Amino acid sequence: MLLFSLRNLARSRTRTLIMVIGIGIAVAGFIGLVSFSHSIKTTFHESLDVISGIMVMQKGAVDTPFSFVDEDDSAKIAKVYGVKTVIPQITGVAREIDGKKISGISFTGMYSFLGEDPAKAEEENLLRQYLSEGRYLQEGDENAAVIGRKIAEDYNKRIGSTITVNGYRFRVVGIYSSGIDFMDSMIVIPIEKARKMAGLPKGTVNDFYVEVDDPKKAGAIAGIIEDLFPEYQASTSQDYAEEMGGVLSSIDMFFLAVAGIALAIGGIGVLNTMMMSVAERKKEFGVLRAVGWTDDDVMKMIIQESFFLGLLGGAAGMLLGYLALAGAAGVMPFKIVAEPTIFAEGLLLSVVLGVAGGLYPAWRASRLEPTIAMRD
């Protein structure tokens, strides 16, 4: 009966191929969307693991480029018990690199510059610890730059290369690598050059990065800073995790809903295909019943055909999903996580949908009277 079911699918090659492609696209959509959701969450949590300090910015600002704080307050924050160092920072978008304009909404164009005081660069800060080549900024630097691994790869830069950002020319003195693409897409430059690029007045910066002696006490120290400076908000990695928890859950639900719709469409496709197949093969079922096949035999044959449709569609979906994720890995600003369990789930769901879509047609086929079926 197994070979008989396979021969039936092979006999209607065009219909089978169309159905396999349809299921494959639905499964690929499921694999891609769930993988994207997992990748976003993984990147976010990896980023939080990197940030051990406190970000201090203007209260109510949606992001650091829209935050404006008094640079002199860094000295006051440094006196708070438990604070190790305070790094004033200026951030902005790299709209042009080496004369090539970058779209602000492009996945591959999410580059930014970060201005730090070279005189304080020897102190511990967020990116210095990930320096992999060359050196970090040092006192006296005016046109030096430390670039992230992704920028070095995308623009073929190495130690000693020159790089032009928003019309300002720098020489690469160091390359850092945190292992997180969007963090490795920054260009660290002297703060006064960043001030000119951002158009900020003297004495104003976007934020302070505060390193603490004991990361476990970061929350308490952040509270003290906010009490001393009510106009500022001080956020730890835990604060960001809580703030983004609901957003990430919403993203998860959205992706799962879209993937569920795609799979449901695939299941309806199987149902429709098998119903058409049953309608066209009534004489065949009548002959099989006449030569001794039982109701259960006919039902099993149709379910087996549906099973193989789901299996083939799932295999096709796994291949399409893998190719889609491989292509997306080169353009997404985060690392794509392609977990084997997601592919296995896609295949399992495809088989389940295939079988479920074939149950009703199988029941209909098993209820056909042999004499009536042969007449039709």
Among the ranges given (149-158, 290-299, 344-353), the one the predictor scored with the smallest mean pLDDT: 290-299
Which DSSP category does 293 fall into?
Answer: -
pLDDT given at position 369: 66
Q: What average pLDDT score do residues 256-281 get? A: 77
pLDDT given at position 106: 42
Strands (E), 149-222: 162-165, 168-176, 186-190, 204-205, 207-212
- Please indicate whether residue 47 or residue 253 has the higher confidence score (pLDDT): 253
In whole angstroms, what is the distance from residue 101 CA to residue 197 CA? Answer: 15
Amino acid present at 35:
S
Q: Where are the alpha helices (DSSP H) in 330-339?
A: none
pLDDT band at 109 (very low <50, low <70, confident <90, very high): very low
pLDDT in tens, 286-315: 677 667 777 777 788 888 888 888 888 889
Radius of gyration of the chain (CA): 30
pLDDT band at 368 (very low <50, low <70, confident <90, very high): low
pLDDT in tens, 55-99: 899 998 888 888 999 999 999 999 999 988 888 999 998 988 998
Quickly count: other Cβ atoms within 10 Å of residue 174's Cβ. 20
Share of the chain above pLDDT 70, in %: 84
Among the ranges given (154-158, 268-272, 363-367), the one the predictor scored with the smallest mean pLDDT: 363-367
- Structure token digits, residue 121: 């660069």
Q: What average pLDDT score do residues 19-31 get? A: 86
Residue 11 has pLDDT above 80, yes or no: no
Quickly count: other Cβ atoms within 10 Å of residue 37's Cβ. 20
How many angstroms separate the Cα of 178 from the Cα of each of 51, 123, 181, 359? 11, 18, 8, 52
pLDDT in tens, 177-236: 987 777 888 999 999 999 999 999 999 999 998 888 888 888 899 999 999 999 999 988
pLDDT given at position 146: 95
**116 close to 138: Cβ distance less than 8 angstroms:** no
Residue 375 has pLDDT above 60, yes or no: no
pLDDT band at 245 (very low <50, low <70, confident <90, very high): low
Residue 363 has pLDDT above 90, yes or no: no
Amino acid present at 139:
E
pLDDT band at 319 (very low <50, low <70, confident <90, very high): very high
Residue 1 has pLDDT above 60, yes or no: no
- Please indicate whether residue 87 or residue 251 has the higher confidence score (pLDDT): 87
Own/partner long-range contacts of 71-76 (Cβ < 8 Å, ≥24 apart): 71/203, 71/204, 71/205, 72/203, 73/208, 73/229, 73/232, 74/208, 76/228, 76/229
